[in-house]
Amino acid sequence: MFDIPPPHDRQSQSNGSLSGVEGGAKLESSKDKLKRLLESQQKIKENKGKPISFSQPIIWQKDNPVFFPKTINVIQGKAGVHKSRLAETVCAAMLKTPESNRDLLNFKTNILTRYAVCYVDTERNLSDQLPYSLQQIQLKAGYPIEEHPYGFDYISLLEFAREERFDMLNIYLEHIRKQFPMHLFIVLDVITDCVFNFNDTKDSMKLIDMMNQSINRYDVTFLCLIHENPGNTDKARGHLGTEILNKASTVMQIGFEKDAQNHNTDLIKVAYLKCRSSKKHDPFHVQYSDAEKGLVLADLNTIQETMDSRNQKAALDETIELLGRLLTEPMSKTNLIEQLCFEMDCKERTVEARLKSILTLKLAVPDQNGVAKLLCKRQDGKEVIYFLSD
């Protein structure tokens, strides 16, 4: 796609790079640095002295502004939760042809503005995985796979050693800035693989500084994909993850909703963890579709069923905990239901349904003596009583 300079020439090449972080900064004199500082001061002064007109979003989801020009943005999530497919959908919306009526999770752009989408991949193989993903972007945008749309560019850093990737990314960004005289939407998938050590402060800040300088000097927006740490934490990986979230304007999190047994369901939640340029938007739900070979908006029935299942589990857990505290002695059905309705602020019918589920499923009830089972029986000529038994 472009000529890669030999290692001994890379520093001289980076003088003209998109960021100007390497090479040029080392040769710049104190006088030149001061001149550059005062030039930026003058620009700030000019902008301060006139009414501020904030930039319009470059992409919306429904009526919610999502990404703004000249910003750094993040999609984070555990491994395997379709981060890349969400990014594919965003890219397709950026490239969508006027003739296409494909729904792209309600993502949309200003049809009067052209964007160049530049996809930088670090994980997928070059024989089928990455080409297939790029095909899906084109198809969703309204292009046949054999076409090579102007404004859609892509590279893989997979074959470069980690210590080379930052330099190669810098070289590539300079290349596409010259090739596409329009707004650049750059996807880094995944960003932690673009540096030698994502836990190293120096490596992390080197990449973040490059992006910050790029968005301030050029017509560029970044979308960075990053894995979350394994386990129950929502923290993005490494020192780079911590810093990129601090610098990001919009942070989206994608992950599977859980069922009553805390297992992943087919329902996927996309939440907004951070919206610097707007109010924080409500989450939305998607699913993977074999027919569409990508993500589609989840139907309301699926969302409701999943939420009801999880809420029922939470409600049963609460009821079981209360039974362990209340049934130190056998209690009449009337008194027990009255107390449970009061404690859980719910209706009698709801409590009866929960008690029936606990009895039917023979769920364990932790009590003062350990673990017991809920039982009930009707006394002769009297009402039903509930009690716990080993």
pLDDT at 29: 87
Angstrom distance (rounded) from CA 68 to CA 384:
64
Give residues with Cβ within 8 angstroms of 10, minimum separation 6: 167, 171
Q: Where are the domains of the chain?
A: 7-48+55-298, 305-389
Measured CA distances, 342 to 142, 267, 325, 335, 386 (Å)? 57, 34, 14, 11, 17
pLDDT at 353: 83
- Contact between residue 197 and residue 205 where contact means Cβ atoms under 8 Å apart: no
Single out the residue of 229, 176, 185 nearest to residue 88, CA to CA. 185
- Contact between residue 351 and residue 319 where contact means Cβ atoms under 8 Å apart: yes
- Contact between residue 369 and residue 390 where contact means Cβ atoms under 8 Å apart: yes
Angstrom distance (rounded) from CA 160 to CA 93:
30
For each of the chain's 390 residues, which pLDDT tens digit applies? 334 444 434 343 444 445 444 444 457 788 888 998 998 899 889 888 888 877 889 999 999 999 999 999 999 999 999 999 999 999 999 999 989 999 999 999 988 888 999 999 999 999 999 999 999 999 999 999 999 999 999 999 999 999 999 999 999 999 999 999 999 999 999 999 999 999 999 999 999 999 999 999 899 999 999 999 887 678 899 999 999 999 999 999 999 998 766 788 999 999 999 999 888 999 999 999 999 999 999 998 888 888 777 667 667 788 888 898 889 888 889 899 998 888 888 888 888 888 888 888 888 888 777 788 888 887 766 788 888 887
User: What phi, psi does 33 have (nearest 5°)?
Assistant: -65, -45
Tokens linked to 282: 């409500």
Helix, strand or coil for residue 188? strand
Q: What is the DSSP letter of 189?
A: E
pTM, two decimals, is 0.74
- Contact between residue 268 and residue 96 where contact means Cβ atoms under 8 Å apart: no
Question: Checking DSSP bridges between strand 220-227 and strand 183-189, what pairing results, if any?
Answer: parallel
CATH number of 305-389: 1.10.10
Among left, alpha and beta (phi > 0; psi -120 to 50; other), residue 65 is beta
Count CB-CB contacts under 10 A for residue 65: 17
Is the CATH number 3.40.50.300 carried by domain 7-48+55-298? yes
Burial of 67 (0-12, 13-18, 19+ CB in 10 A): buried
pLDDT at 13: 40
pLDDT at 260: 67
Measured CA distances, 289 to 74, 88, 93, 258 (Å)? 24, 14, 18, 19
What type of residue sits at position 204? S
Give residues with Cβ within 8 angstroms of 363, minimum separation 6: 316, 320, 357, 374
One fold for 7-48+55-298 and 305-389: no
Angstrom distance (rounded) from CA 332 to CA 132:
64
